[in-house]
Amino acid sequence: MHSLRFATSLTSALRIQRALRPASHSFRRTVVTKLYTTDHEVIKFDDETGVGTVSITEYAQKSLGDVVFVELPEKGVTIKQGEPVGAVESVKAASDIYAPVSGDVVRINEELEDQPSLLNKSPEDDGWLFQLELSKREELKGLLSEDAYKKHCES
Amino acid sequence: MVPFAGYHMPLTYGDASQVASHQHVRQRAGLFDVGHMVQSNFRGATATEFLEWLTPSSLSTLIPYTSTLSVLLNEEGGIIDDMVITKYASDAFYVVTNAARCAEDLAWFEARLAEWNTSERSNGGPVEHEVLEGWGLLALQGPAAADHLQALTSYDLRALTFGRSAFVPLEGINVHVARGGYTGEDGFEISIPPAHAAFLASALLRSPVQLAGLGARDSLRLEAGMCLYGNDLDESTTPVEAGLSWVIGKDRRTAGGFIGSKTVLDQLKNGPPKRRVGLIVEEAPARQGAKVLAPETSDKIGVVTSGIPLAPTVGKNISMAYVKSGFHKKGTVLAVEVRKKARPAVVTPLPFTPSRYWRG
């Protein structure tokens, strides 16, 4: 599994998302932005609530194989971008989870304690890890778009 | 595929996950291609004496066509490699060593042979070492292994109990079959001449036998309490520390006479400073490198050398570790540090899973 970690300043993802936003604010719609890290995490950010849902990517679950244990941050803790906040373990390897952005952990996926295999079956939906209320939205600008992430995986 | 000892080896085969493959070996049978391991013959009138100089095994009393786990020791009693020695006769031995230690082992054999063959100890006749280049080695392991192999040979395998070996005709080819393995299950390690290795592998690979890779091999051997050189054994570890005192022959414990005997005999008498133990770890699994801490003081008292989460048969996080003597007794509650947190770990007797060898 790649563990390359470097700051990136790709902002095109956000620009594209903004362009897609309806021009009229008369019926405001929630915009969910999906962004990636080089550590193979994905965050779905809901721009209305300010809450992001963190998962590992499909690529990460495939490289890990059978996930048998997930360690998550505790609900209520404040985490800083880039710091290790938990881990996903398969029989083969342990992979740290890093906070993709800073914020307060508001919810964790308790299902994973009994069913860590949800991470293999549905990494980005049922197998989500935790939700956090972002304290520094500007950090999103430093994350990768889906295309940029794909390129990262191929490289 | 992963790099291993200079080979590219599969962790798993096809769609079978590591866990499924592990379970298949425990429930039915798996075939491991371990042809990367180094197979050798030692021959010569003084071969017994030579190998008794290199190892602490009692080879003179070993019954022909019997195998024993053994260790190559350096002058300080540290383990250069672990290996299986099969005695054909007092002047002929077949030895299997680790691929990852090939360079070190061969250099050691060569230097010690040169020393031996030029000393008066070889007056009875010199010793020759031959590496079986290109030979196949297949490990057929699991409760269904014996029935499966029996269908391919006229040799009565019931007579071949754990630790025994024989030359057995298999599909018309005479191959060396040793009963044993690296999984804790009943099974066979089959040494095959180069020209027939692929053919016999296909012949053995029929239902219910499935190919099993390095992934399953690791979780199976760990549950069976067996050491992996490079993880659980190295040149700074003695067989006494490694819990392998049982490989030291009874007659060798007083007489010594093997390389490294000074340290080893002293440790047998006075106890070693550290010991290999099994751990069942609560909360997060502890892998190689995790610190072992004393329960109250949180002082570092050891290190984890192998570990897997949720061992497929045991159903718990299991590890092997070395801990300071005194902390090694079964049931002792220690802690291991995983991601900067102390996690409870209980010293557990090895093997984690009972071995199921064929003892007749």
- The CATH number linked to A114 is 2.40.50.100
Interface touch A89/B219, C-beta < 8 Å: no
Indicate the pairing of strand B66-73 with strand B79-89.
Answer: antiparallel
Distances (CA, A) of B151 to B31, B169, B191, B271: 16, 12, 18, 48
**Tokens 């239902």 correspond to what residue?**
B207
Chain A residues touching residue B220 (CB < 8 angstroms): none
Question: Which parts of B118-237 fold into alpha helices (H)?
Answer: 145-150, 197-204, 214-223
Res A8: pLDDT: 31
Interface touch A66/B284, C-beta < 8 Å: no
Provide the residue type at B98 as one letter.
Answer: N
Q: Provide CATH 2.40.30.110 ranges for chain B.
A: 273-348
Distances (CA, A) of B352 to A67, B4, B247, B254: 22, 26, 20, 32
Chain B residues touching residue A87 (CB < 8 angstroms): 284, 339
Res A28: pLDDT: 57
Interface touch A69/B287, C-beta < 8 Å: no
**β partners of residue B97:** B38, B83
Is the predicted pLDDT of residue A66 greater than 90, yes or no? Answer: no
CA B108 to chain centre: 19
Give the residue from B360, B356, B359 showing the smallest Cα distance to B186. Answer: B356
Interface touch B339/A66, C-beta < 8 Å: no
Is the predicted pLDDT of residue A25 greater than 90, yes or no? Answer: no
CA B209 to chain centre: 22
Which of the two residues, A26 and B219, has the higher pLDDT score? B219
Instruction: List chain B residues with pLDDT less than 50.
Output: none
How far, in Å, CA of A149 to CA of A36, rounded? Answer: 6
Question: How is domain B38-131 classified at the architecture level of CATH?
Answer: 2-Layer Sandwich (3.30)
Is the predicted pLDDT of residue A12 greater than 70, yes or no? Answer: no
CB B83 within 8 A of CB B70: yes
Res A16: pLDDT: 38
Interface touch A91/B215, C-beta < 8 Å: yes
How far, in Å, CA of A154 to CA of A134, rounded? Answer: 29
Chain B residues touching residue A94 (CB < 8 angstroms): 285, 287, 309
Number of domains present in the structure of chain A: 1
User: Which residues 6+ apart lie within 8 Å of B36 measured at CB?
Assistant: B4, B5, B6, B7, B9, B99
Give the residue from B187, B135, B138 showing the smallest Cα distance to B163. Answer: B187
CB B257 within 8 A of CB B324: no
Indicate the pairing of strand A51-56 with strand A130-134.
Answer: antiparallel
- With bands split at pLDDT 50, 70 and 90, how would you rate the model's confidence at A29? low
CB B86 within 8 A of CB B291: no
B135's tokens: 């030979």
pLDDT (mean) for A64-76: 92
Res A125: pLDDT: 94
Size of interface A-B (CB pairs under 8 A): 39
- With bands split at pLDDT 50, 70 and 90, how would you rate the model's confidence at A5? very low
**If residue B306 lies in a helix (H) or strand (E), which one and from where to where?**
strand B300-308
| Tens-digit pLDDT profile for residues A81-98 | 999 999 999 888 889 999
Tell whether A2 is covered by a domain: no
Res B6: pLDDT: 85
CB A86 within 8 A of CB A71: yes
CB B114 within 8 A of CB B34: no
Indicate the pairing of strand B291-293 with strand B333-338.
Answer: antiparallel
Instruction: Choose among A71, A87, A92: nearest Cβ to B215.
Output: A92
Residues of A with CB under 8 A from a CB of B: 65-66, 68-69, 71, 84, 87, 89-92, 94, 96
Interface touch B284/A91, C-beta < 8 Å: no
Q: Provide CATH 3.30.1360.120 ranges for chain B.
A: 2-35+134-223
Q: Is A87 exposed, middle or buried (0-12, 13-18, 19+ CB in 10 A)?
A: middle
Computed over every residue of chain B, the mean pLDDT equals: 96
Computed over every residue of chain A, the mean pLDDT equals: 84
How far, in Å, CA of B10 to CA of B215, rounded? Answer: 8
Is the predicted pLDDT of residue A21 greater than 50, yes or no? Answer: no
How far, in Å, CA of B47 to CA of A52, rounded? Answer: 70
B75 is in an annotated binding site: no
Q: Which CATH superfamily is domain B2-35+134-223 in?
A: Probable tRNA modification gtpase trme; domain 1 (3.30.1360.120)
Tell whether A4 is covered by a domain: no
pLDDT (mean) for A112-118: 93
Give the residue from B218, B210, B204 showing the smallest Cα distance to B16. Answer: B210
CA atoms A132, A138, A142, A144: torsion sign: positive
For residue A31, give the 3-state DSSP assignment: coil
User: Which residues 6+ apart lie within 8 Å of B266 measured at CB?
Assistant: none
Is the predicted pLDDT of residue A4 greater than 60, yes or no? Answer: no
User: Which residues 6+ apart lie within 8 Å of B314 measured at CB?
Assistant: B223, B280, B352, B353
Residue span of the structural domain in which A107 resides = 12-154
Q: Which CATH number is correct for B273-348, 2.40.30.110, 3.40.50.720, 1.50.10.10, 3.40.50.1220?
A: 2.40.30.110
Give the residue from B283, B210, B285 showing the smallest Cα distance to B17. Answer: B210
How far, in Å, CA of B353 to CA of B337, rounded? Answer: 25
Provide the residue type at B215 as one letter.
Answer: G
* Closest-CA residue of chain B to A86: B339
How far, in Å, CA of B200 to CA of B174, rounded? Answer: 11
